[in-house]
């Protein structure tokens, strides 16, 4: 045997072994049945919704990335007595610098919001802890955050992933478990507070309570927001017809930094990841703003700088749960061929109140006149992760389609969060953590290999 053939065979064996990490096992439907706390919202007088005291005290504090590359944050907060100064003092040890924000307020039916402040804090140094202070005198409140490492292909970074959170005891358990993890920023997959389950003015009140509930995490690390169906708030019977009205006033996004015209559709780069946020509930067919913006944004992805390409959307494109089955089909038809062409690493979705992880499959060969109609294994396809079970008041979606489709690798109906630990340009360790009756349990783990850097040489592809 020539040494070339020998080394090729070694490579081949290595490839087969490594590919087993992601492919080829039969899908698993977990038999775990969790005991559920009742899926009811926590009463408003519970201490998890405690209102900060003091004259005009800042409330509902949350931060998000404020620019394209992670050197800015947007600090958002609400004051209820007077519009007040909109000032954030910040610094590396003392809060000697300051930034001025903008103030907005709105009504929803007869509910009047507080004064909502959004303050861009920019020009920050990478990989640095900053302290910040908001409010005055006895009402002042202090928090801190870490900026991400600079954009670098081997920058290690851990994202938390939470979807469909709501404000029940299960939601609280998910949030507390996440806060014990090493997560540095949250990719939030839509459906924040489920306030739209309420009537009239209670809708606005439950948006407020969720802001106070989530503050324990959102004030200290950026949450990257996407919208779900519970953010649409289309309520013609209340005279409210502007989609996402509550969300857009309260949750700022850095959409202008990625040249988007729509706050619910944008992209950021953070450490070694390029993250694209899509809206399942905004127009996306050919020629619409979202379609054109995405087409453009994909051409800007530079895998030499940010190897990890991650797309977020509320409605999953591959979902074998009975709940919301096939709701993602129209977006799949519009965008799947791009996701395969650009070798997206993962697509993260919520919406279905259960967990599912796919193998790399695609279904782009079919059109209404011809072609193979079934999803097939495709090494260029993303891994689809559905993490729609933060713990909201609608409960779990436990009915799975039988038999389990080939694309489905693992599925279970439990409340949970995930972590995505990017180690370097080739490896990312992904964990799904189920809330096991109040404890944190890791129930699905997989090493994900980068779709750009962890590639077969063209010669091997031909020989295989």
Ligand X SMILES: *[C@@H]1O[C@H](CO)[C@@H](O)[C@H](O)[C@H]1NC(C)=O
Tokens of 205: 């009140």
Phi and psi angles of residue 264, each rounded to the nearest 5 degrees, phi first: -100, 20
CA dist list (Å): 87 to 79, 119, 124, 254 = 12, 7, 17, 19
The partner in contact with residue 35, picked from Fe ion, ligand X, none with C-beta cut-offs of 5 to 8 angstroms by kind, is none
Tokens of 67: 């620019």
Give the CA angle between residues 311, 314, 316 to the nearest 5°: 80
The partner in contact with residue 426, picked from Fe ion, ligand X, none with C-beta cut-offs of 5 to 8 angstroms by kind, is ligand X
What is the x/- site pattern for ligand X, positions 106-125, by CB under 6 A?
Answer: xx----x-------------
**Is 30 a binder of ligand X (CB under 6 A)?**
no
Q: Which of 118, 351, 360, 431 binds Fe ion (CB under 5 A)?
A: 351
Phi and psi angles of residue 256, each rounded to the nearest 5 degrees, phi first: -65, -30
**Is 343 a binder of Fe ion (CB under 5 A)?**
no
| CB nearer to Fe ion: pick between 117 and 245 | 245
**Is 365 a binder of ligand X (CB under 6 A)?**
yes
The partner in contact with residue 345, picked from Fe ion, ligand X, none with C-beta cut-offs of 5 to 8 angstroms by kind, is none
The partner in contact with residue 112, picked from ligand X, Fe ion, none with C-beta cut-offs of 5 to 8 angstroms by kind, is ligand X
**Is 341 a binder of ligand X (CB under 6 A)?**
no
**Is 427 a binder of ligand X (CB under 6 A)?**
yes
With CA atoms as reference, report the closest residue to 73 among 250, 268, 230.
268
The partner in contact with residue 191, picked from Fe ion, ligand X, none with C-beta cut-offs of 5 to 8 angstroms by kind, is Fe ion
Q: Which of 7, 9, 105, 442 binds ligand X (CB under 6 A)?
A: 105
The contacts of residue 57 (CB under 8 Å, 6+ apart) are: 51, 79, 135, 139, 141
Distance CA 15, CA 129 (A): 41
Query: CB–CB of 77/103 below 8 Å?
Result: no
Q: Which of 123, 371, 399, 438 binds ligand X (CB under 6 A)?
A: 371
The contacts of residue 130 (CB under 8 Å, 6+ apart) are: 90, 91, 92, 121, 124, 144, 145, 146, 147
Instruction: Write down the least CB distance from residue 372 to ligand X, Å.
Output: 7
Tokens of 234: 């289309």
**Is 228 a binder of Fe ion (CB under 5 A)?**
yes
| CB nearer to ligand X: pick between 181 and 426 | 426
**Is 191 a binder of Fe ion (CB under 5 A)?**
yes
By residue count, the chain amounts to 464
Residue with tokens 């609400």: 78
The partner in contact with residue 201, picked from Fe ion, ligand X, none with C-beta cut-offs of 5 to 8 angstroms by kind, is none
Q: Which residues bind ligand X (CB under 6 A)?
A: 105-107, 112, 365, 367, 369-371, 423-427
């Amino acid at each position: 045997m020539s040494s070339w053939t020998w080394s090729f065979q070694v490579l081949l064996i290595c490839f087969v072994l490594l590919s087993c990490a992601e492919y080829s096992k039969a899908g698993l439907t977990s038999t775990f049945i969790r005991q559920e706390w009742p899926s009811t919202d926590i009463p408003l007088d519970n201490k998890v919704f405690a209102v900060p005291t003091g004259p005009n005290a800042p409330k509902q504090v949350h931060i998000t990335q404020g620019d394209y590359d992670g050197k800015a944050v947007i600090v958002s907060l609400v004051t209820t007595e007077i519009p007040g100064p909109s000032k954030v003092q910040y610094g590396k040890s003392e809060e000697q610098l300051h930034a001025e924000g903008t103030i907005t307020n709105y009504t929803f039916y007869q509910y009047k919001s507080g004064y909502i402040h959004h303050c861009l804090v920019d020009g920050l140094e990478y990989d640095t802890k900053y302290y910040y202070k908001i409010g005055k005198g006895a009402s002042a409140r202090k928090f801190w955050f870490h900026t991400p490492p600079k954009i670098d292909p081997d920058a290690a970074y851990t994202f938390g992933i939470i979807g469909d959170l709501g404000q029940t005891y299960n939601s609280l358990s998910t949030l507390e478990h996440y806060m014990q993890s090493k997560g540095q920023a949250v990719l939030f997959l839509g459906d924040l507070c489920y306030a739209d389950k309420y009537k009239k003015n209670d809708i606005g009140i439950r948006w407020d309570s969720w802001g106070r509930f989530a503050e324990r995490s959102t004030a200290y690390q950026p949450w990257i927001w996407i919208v779900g169906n519970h953010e649409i708030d289309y309520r013609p019977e209340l005279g409210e017809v502007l989609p996402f009205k509550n969300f857009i006033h309260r949750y700022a996004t850095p959409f202008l930094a990625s040249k988007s015209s729509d706050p619910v559709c944008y992209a950021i780069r953070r450490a070694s990841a390029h993250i694209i946020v899509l809206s399942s509930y905004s127009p996306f067919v050919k020629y619409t703003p979202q379609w054109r913006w995405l087409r453009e944004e994909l051409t800007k992805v530079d895998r030499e700088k940010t190897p990890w390409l991650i797309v977020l959307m509320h409605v999953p494109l591959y979902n074998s749960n009975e709940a919301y089955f096939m709701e993602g089909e129209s977006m799949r038809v519009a965008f799947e061929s791009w996701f395969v062409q650009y070798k997206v690493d993962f697509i993260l979705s919520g919406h279905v109140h259960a967990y599912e992880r796919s193998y790399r499959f695609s279904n782009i060969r079919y059109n209404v006149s011809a072609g193979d109609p079934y999803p097939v294994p495709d090494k260029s396809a993303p891994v689809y992760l559905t993490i729609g079970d933060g713990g909201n008041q609608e409960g779990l979606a436990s009915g799975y389609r039988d038999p389990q489709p080939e694309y489905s690798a693992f599925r279970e109906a439990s409340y949970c969060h995930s972590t995505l630990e990017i180690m370097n340009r080739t490896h990312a360790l992904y964990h799904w953590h189920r809330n096991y009756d109040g404890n944190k349990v890791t129930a699905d783990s997989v090493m994900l290999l980068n779709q750009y850097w962890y590639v077969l040489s063209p010669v091997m592809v031909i020989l295989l």
